[in-house]
Amino acid sequence: MTKVVERKPLSLVERTYLPSIIGGFQVTWKHFARSVFKGKPVTMEYPEEKWVVPEGYRGAPYLVKDQEGDTKCVSCQLCEFICPPKAIKITPPGPDGPPADRANAEKMPREFEINMLRCIFCGLCQEVCPEEAIFLQRDYSLTGTSREAMVYNKEKLLELGGIHGGIQKWKQKLEEAREQESFPPNPS
């Protein structure tokens, strides 16, 4: 079914586009006057001047290590399955693979890659990870000289991610669940 939208005919002045042109000049003049007379530039001199990311900004995802310097990822592949653009690729160790480099872990990935050209920084990988092995950092300026250079391997992701403490996710979830049990809160 087609719906026809009735449009008001343009007036003579509107047909000359003069109101739109004047509106564009007003915006340009406002920014020009702000820059020249008030000394407040509209643009930044990037990369010399860095943009300060706001709180809650979701940047590039990186792998992190625990306090002992071991890989926290246990190759469960949840992040790979949930990634909407399929930017994450994990190669499990297989039955003959090397053992995990830490206690309480059955396995660790043989290869872990994130294609930063595909990643949309949605944060689902961080949300689903049971080991808190992947975190979104505040990086927004990712550069490379080729497409292959933008596919970060496990070593590069661990190097960029750094060290992060123990697993606190389940402790936080437990606290959230306890808060919900007492909802609505008792007035005191």
DSSP 3-state of 141: coil
First-last CA distance in the chain? 59
* Confidence at residue 68, expressed as pLDDT on a 0 to 100 scale: 82
pLDDT in tens, the chain (188 residues): 888 989 999 899 989 999 999 999 999 999 999 989 998 888 888 889 888 889 888 999 999 988 888 888 989 999 999 999 999 999 988 888 777 777 777 888 999 999 999 999 999 999 999 888 999 998 888 999 999 999 999 999 999 998 887 666 666 777 888 888 776 665 55
**Integer angstrom CA distances of residue 12 from 15, 16, 18, 23, 141:** 5, 7, 10, 17, 48
- Dihedral sign for Cα 63, 65, 71, 75, please: negative
If one counts every other C-beta atom within 10 angstroms of the C-beta of residue 145, the result is 7
Q: Which two tokens stand for residue 82?
A: 């949930």
Residue 169 · residue 132 · CB < 8 Å: yes
